[in-house]
Amino acid sequence: MSDSTPLELPAGFVALVGQPNVGKSTLMNAVLGVKVAIATSKPQTTRNRILGVQTLSGKGQLCFVDTPGIHQGPKRLNRVMNEVALQSLREVDVVCHMVDAAALAGWQRRTGQQGLPPEERYVIERLSQAEVPALLVLNKIDQIKDKNLLLPMIDALTERTDYAAVVPLSALTGEQLDAFVETVLAQLPHQGLLFPEDMLTDQAERFLAAEFVREQVMLQTRKEIPYSVAVEVEHFNEDEARDLLEISAVIHVERDSQKGIIIGQGGQRIKAIGQAARAELERFFGRQVFLETFVRVEPQWSEKSRHLHRFGYE
CA dihedral 143, 147, 151, 157 (to 10 degrees): 10
Known binding residue 142? Answer is: yes
Known binding residue 304? Answer is: no
Residues 6+ apart with CB under 8 A from 149: 105, 108
What is the structure's pLDDT at 61? 97
The CA distances from residue 131 to 36, 49, 120, 154, 183, in Å, are 28, 19, 19, 21, 18
Per the CB < 8 A criterion, the answer to whether 95 and 133 are in contact is yes
Known binding residue 67? Answer is: yes
End-to-end CA distance of the chain: 45
What is the structure's pLDDT at 119? 92
Known binding residue 146? Answer is: no
Q: What are phi and psi of 95, to 5 degrees?
A: -115, 130
Domain 205-311 is classified in which CATH homologous superfamily?
K homology (KH) domain (3.30.300.20)
What is the structure's pLDDT at 314? 67
Known binding residue 19? Answer is: yes
pLDDT of the chain, 314 residues: tens digit per residue: 444 444 589 999 999 999 989 999 999 999 999 898 888 777 667 777 889 999 999 999 999 999 888 877 767 777 777 787 788 888 899 999 999 999 999 999 899 888 899 999 989 988 887 889 999 999 999 999 998 889 989 999 998 788 999 999 999 999 999 999 999 999 999 998 999 999 999 888 999 999 999 999 999 987 767 778 999 999 999 998 999 999 999 999 999 999 999 999 999 999 999 999 999 999 999 999 999 999 999 999 989 888 888 888 76
What is the structure's pLDDT at 142? 96
What is the structure's pLDDT at 49? 82
Identify the CATH number of the domain defined by range 11-186: 3.40.50.300
Known binding residue 24? Answer is: yes
Reported in sequence order, the residue ranges of 57-183 that DSSP labels E, i.e. its strands, are 60-66, 94-100, 134-139, 165-168
Known binding residue 139? Answer is: yes
Residue extents of the structural domains in the chain: 11-186, 205-311
Known binding residue 23? Answer is: yes
pTM for this entry: 0.84
What is the structure's pLDDT at 225? 78
Known binding residue 25? Answer is: yes
Known binding residue 20? Answer is: yes
**Torsion over CA: 81, 97, 226, 54 (sign):** negative
